[in-house]
Every structure is written in C-alpha cells, then in structure tokens.
C-alpha cells in the first residue's frame, strides 16, 4: 500500500462489497444527493422578493453584464438537499467522537438559544456605544472568567480561532522583544516535536525560525535538551500542557524558569486546557501567554471545522502589547478602546502590537462559552476536567489488555496508543481507524503526535457515560482481537457501511478538481 505524507492510505486494496446494489444507488435512509448545481437552474429561486422599481442605476458604469452561473432551488428542494447531505455526516450528537486534542464534547443547546437572542445576534459591531452596553458587559464578564480560571492578569479577546490566538500570543512576544531592542537578536522559537502543526507555522508567520525539542522517554519535553538549545537568540518556547501525548509536563516550572532565565517568553498552547480547567491556574506555572479554544474547552460547537474562538491570556510582561480593540469598564460604563494608545511598562512607553481582525472577536462564541461557564460554575468546570481525565484513564486501562499504550502510567484527558499491537497483522493504524467507522464510531486522531509510530490518540471527554465508554472499549478490543486473528483483508476493505468507501486522496491532489463545472455540451442531436 502506498502512503502519502500523512501516512494515510490512498486507495482501498479491495472494493469487495457485501451489499446488493439498488437501482437508485440509495441505501434505505442513505439517499444519494447530487450537487445543487446539478439540481437547480439559474432561473430558480427559493426567496420571494418585491420587484425593484428603478430603471436607472448609479453603479458608475460597472454594472454586471454577464451571467454568474448560480442555480437557485425552491425552499423544499433546498431543505431536502441539505438534510440529505447532513445524513452523510457523523456528529457528537450521534455517538462518541474521540478525536484526541480536538475535545468533542456535548454542545448544550441553551448556548445556541442565548447566542440567537436579537440583542446579541442582531447587533452591529459599529453600532453606537450606548446601544451595545450589554454586549460589552458580556465580553467583559467572559474576560473575567477567563482571567480567573487561568490566573492571568489580562486577556485579548479578538483572536478568531486557536491558531489565531497563537499568532496573538507570539505577536505580543515579538512586540515585547522589540520594546527591549532585541528584535534582531532573538529570532529563534523552540517547540517540542510533539507540538501541533500550528505552533511552528505560527512562529514562522511571526518571522521567527523554529527549533525542535525532542521528547524524553516518558513523552515529555526533554529538559536537558531544552536547556542546551536555550540562548540569547531565543525569543520563546511554545509548549502544549497537558501535551499532545495526553501527559502533564511535570517539569513545567523548570521549563518556564529556564526560558525566563535565558530572556525568553513562555507561550503555552492551551488546546488541552480542558484537562485542568477549574483545577489548575496556568498563571501559577510561569506562563506568559496562552490561547484558550472556546470551541474545545468551553464547548462552542465545532460546526464541521469552525468557527472557533481563541482568546489569549497574557502575563504582566505581555499585557501592554495586547491587540486592539479591548473593553474597559470605567465609571459604570463599558468602553471599547479601538486605537493604539501608548501604555507605560517599567517606565518605557509601549503600545499595542496592532489589530488582528476587523471587529471585536467571535461574539457568537463568547455568548455560548459564557453560557457554558455559568451553567457549570467553578465546581462544574472542575468536575468536567476530572471526569474527562477519569474517562480517558478508564479507556486507557481497559484498552491496554489488547492495545499498546505509547507511554506507561496515567494520562490526562487523552490517551495515546501506538501500532505495536498491530505488528505482523498486516493491519495499520489507518485500517484500524476505518474499521471503527463500520462499528459506528468516529475514529480517534491518527498519526498524530509524530513522536510514536502509527499514533492513535483517544480523547473521550467528560460527555460520555460509563455505558457508552464500555461499548466503545468492547468494540475496540474486539477489533484488536480480529486484527490479531488474521482478518487483515476485512480491515483493508473498511469502511463498507459508510456513505462512501475509502476515497482516492492521491488522485484528488494530483489533479485537483476544486469546483463544479458544467459538463461539456453534448453534440447536437440530429
């Protein structure tokens, strides 16, 4: 089997199917659906609008005089089109979604209701200040919760996602280094090899170079190796804690101290904050900046890939460089600071590094996250972290009877397995994952982190009941036994019950088809 750089297979070895074909191609509730472009025509419309009365226009001679090529569908056709599409998706509301590092927890529907209140949803970001006091209050309240939960003095609310929050934190670090006049000297950023890909990508986007720190035998940052790499050319370090192996960095304070002693800053990737929220304040561990994925830890829906939100908490040292805009509460009123005004830091005049986005951040995620936090309270947030860690350790313990744990000992909110248990079976991590699909589960994160071979990273979250976890573990154990019993062919063919069999990713990349185009007109009939 050929593998691409992701370690993912490119083509199933076997197309054998156990199911009889139907005339329509449909399979009972699974209904094949064409593209909207193949269903509608450009005269179609599912919206009733009044007739425009104007004859002239004032478009400066630049009125459109060509067709766009967009079909329209009536409302019932539209409804059916998208409902049929929806039924080809797996979702957290259907079953466990154990993607490690992704934190697919339950999305409470109260949060959806709150986000849709007209006072939040139908509010213009540039409406006069006096008419948006409640919105600014909400942002300020959420900021308070985030600062209190992290033990950090400041938070930048505008980053639009986790990677954007990383950018925010690293920009603040860059600005602080510039304020010290060391921008030409400190150009290197250290990141562990187990880091999310966004970490090195972010550092480079900030104009830094990246140096990898190896992991030690226990799956954590190798402190001695880190110390060797430190120097006066280091701007900072980016460490995920708990890390992507699902382990808490025991030496976290020593790491922070070493980086600080070398004159650098400590960026903590907060993707896994959900494991310790309500239990530990990252501010107590020497962190200078950390983004918080509201769409992970505080349960705003992932929505098929976004939108996210990545507020970034900052230490005293970095706070003066925070991006605009930000909310301040003064004299009983909420104000929005939208200009780069200078602040004082240790006698030096410093100012915001600038602006990350047009407006004030992901308000729709703020409302949902605050609703989640208020519902949980400090006790519920801590209980959620404990249950997430408990569930992960329970799964780890049960699966260890047939599967190979990457590291010994307990884990935090996610547990990492490697592919040693599949050695000699002919089954690879990808095949194991695809077989899970047929059992009704979304696979775990696979081939990440890169520190172990054939990684399988499982994060059950606190949203799973013990019954659901037992069923899940039973299914995985049975798969592991089947793999060892020599059923490789069945694994290679999986999935066979999903809306699609394995897809040819190599062909997709080799000759990319990224949009629909009309079929070549057929030869005119005689």
Partner 1 sequence: MRYLPLNDADRRSMLDTIGVSQIDELFSDVPADALNTAFSLPDHQGEMQVDRMLGAMAAKNRAAGAGPSFVGCGAYKHHIPATVDHIIQRSEFLTAYTPYQPEIAQGTLQYLFEFQTQVAALSGMEVANASMYDGSTGCAEAALMARRITKRKKAVLSGGLHPHYAAVTRTNLELHNDDVVLAPADVDASEDIIAMIDDETSCVIVQTPDVFGNIRDLTPIAEAAHEKGALLVAVVTEVMSLGALKSPGEMGADIFVGEGQSIGNALGFGGPYVGLFATRQKYVRQMPGRLCGETTDAEGKRGFVLTLSTREQHIRRDKATSNICTNSGLCTLAFTIHMTLLGEAGLRKIAALNHEAACKTADALKAIDGVDLVNKSFFNEITVRLPKNANDIVDKLAENGILAGVPGERLWPGEKSLENLLILAATECVSDADIEALASGLREVV
* CB closer to partner 1, 76 vs 424: 76
As measured in angstroms, the least distance from the Cβ of 87 to partner 1 is 6
* Least distance from partner 1 to the Cβ atom of residue 22, Å: 13
Of the two residues 148 and 228, which places its CB atom closer to partner 1 in the complex? 148
Identity of the residue, 49 or 525, whose beta carbon is nearer to partner 1 in the bound complex = 49
Q: Which residues contact 480 (CB under 8 A, 6 or more apart)?
A: 399, 402, 403, 421, 432
Nearer residue to partner 1 within complex by CB, 354 or 423? 354
Cβ-based nearer residue to partner 1, 133 or 423: 133
Tokens 């310790």 appear where? 276
Residue closest to 16 by CA, chosen among 437, 493, 503: 493
CB 462, min distance to partner 1, A: 6
Q: Strand pairing partners for 329? A: 334
Shortest distance in whole angstroms from residue 396 CB to partner 1: 8
Beta-bridged to residue 27, according to DSSP, are 30
Task: Give 66 or 523: the residue with its C-beta nearer to partner 1.
Answer: 66
Of 114, 132, 164, residue with least CA distance to 370: 114
Q: Strand 312-314 to strand 289-291: parallel, antiparallel, or no bridges (unpaired)?
A: antiparallel
In the chain the first and final C-alpha atoms are separated, in Å, by 49
Question: Which residues have CB under 8 Å from 266's CB, separation 6+?
Answer: 236, 237, 239, 255, 256, 259, 260, 286, 287, 288, 289
Contact 246, 226 (CB under 8 A): no
Give min distance, CB of 278 to partner 1, in A: 7
Which two structure tokens, joined as six digits, stand for 18? 């156990």
Between 388 and 526, CB nearer to partner 1: 388
Q: Residue 172 CB, nearest distance to partner 1 (Å)?
A: 12
Q: How far is it, in rounded angstroms, from Cα 492 to Cα 12? A: 6
Tokens for 436, please give them: 């899970």
Q: How far is the CB of 441 from partner 1 (least distance, A)?
A: 9
């Amino acid at each position: 089997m050929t593998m691409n750089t992701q370690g993912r297979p490119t083509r199933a070895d076997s197309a054998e199917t156990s199911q009889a074909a139907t005339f329509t191609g449909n399979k009972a509730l699974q209904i094949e659906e064409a593209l909207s472009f193949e269903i509608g025509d450009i005269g179609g419309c599912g919206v009733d609008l009044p007739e425009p009365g104007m004859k002239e226009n004032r478009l400066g001679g630049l009125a459109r005089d060509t067709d766009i090529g967009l079909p329209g569908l009536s409302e019932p056709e539209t409804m059916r089109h998208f409902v049929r599409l929806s039924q080809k998706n797996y979702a957290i509301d259907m079953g466990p979604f154990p993607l490690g590092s992704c934190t697919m927890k339950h999305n409470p529907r109260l949060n959806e209701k709150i986000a849709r209140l007209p006072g939040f949803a139908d509010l213009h970001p540039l409406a006069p200040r006096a008419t948006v006091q409640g919105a600014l209050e909400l942002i300020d309240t959420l900021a308070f919760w985030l600062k209190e939960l992290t033990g950090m003095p400041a938070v930048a609310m505008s980053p639009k996602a986790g990677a954007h929050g990383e950018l925010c934190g690293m920009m603040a670090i860059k600005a602080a280094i510039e304020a010290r006049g060391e921008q030409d000297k400190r150009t290197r950023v250290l990141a562990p090899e187990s880091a999310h890909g966004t970490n090195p990508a972010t550092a480079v986007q900030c104009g830094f170079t990246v140096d990898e720190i190896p992991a030690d035998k226990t799956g954590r940052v190798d402190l001695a190796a880190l110390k060797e790499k430190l120097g006066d050319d280091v701007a900072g370090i980016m460490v995920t804690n708990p890390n992507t192996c699902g382990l808490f960095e025991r030496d976290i304070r020593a790491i922070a101290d070493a980086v600080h002693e070398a004159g650098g800053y400590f960026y903590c990737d907060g993707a896994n904050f959900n494991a310790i929220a309500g239990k530990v304040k990252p501010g107590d561990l020497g962190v200078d900046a950390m983004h918080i994925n509201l769409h992970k830890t505080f349960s705003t829906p992932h929505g098929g890939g976004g939108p996210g939100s990545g507020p970034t908490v900052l230490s005293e040292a970095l706070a003066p460089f925070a991006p605009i805009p930000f909310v301040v509460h003064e004299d009983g009123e909420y104000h929005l600071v939208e200009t780069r005004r200078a602040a004082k830091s240790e006698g030096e005049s410093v100012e915001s590094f600038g602006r990350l986005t047009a407006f004030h951040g992901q308000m729709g995620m703020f409302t949902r996250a605050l609703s989640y936090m208020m519902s949980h309270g400090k006790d519920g947030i801590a209980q959620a972290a404990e249950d997430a860690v408990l569930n992960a350790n329970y799964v780890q313990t049960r699966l260890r009877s047939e599967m190979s744990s990457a590291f010994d000992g307990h884990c935090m909110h996610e547990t990492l397995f490697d592919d040693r248990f599949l050695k000699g079976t002919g089954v690879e991590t990808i095949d194991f994952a695809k077989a899970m699909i047929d059992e009704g589960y979304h696979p775990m994160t696979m081939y990440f982190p890169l520190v172990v071979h054939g990684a399988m990273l499982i994060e059950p979250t606190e949203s799973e009941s013990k019954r659901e976890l037992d069923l899940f573990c039973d299914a995985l154990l049975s798969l592991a036994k089947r793999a060892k019993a020599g059923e490789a062919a069945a694994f290679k063919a999986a999935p066979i019950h999903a809306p699609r069999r394995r897809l040819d990713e190599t062909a997709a990349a080799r000759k990319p088809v990224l949009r629909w185009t009309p079929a070549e007109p057929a030869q005119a009939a005689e």
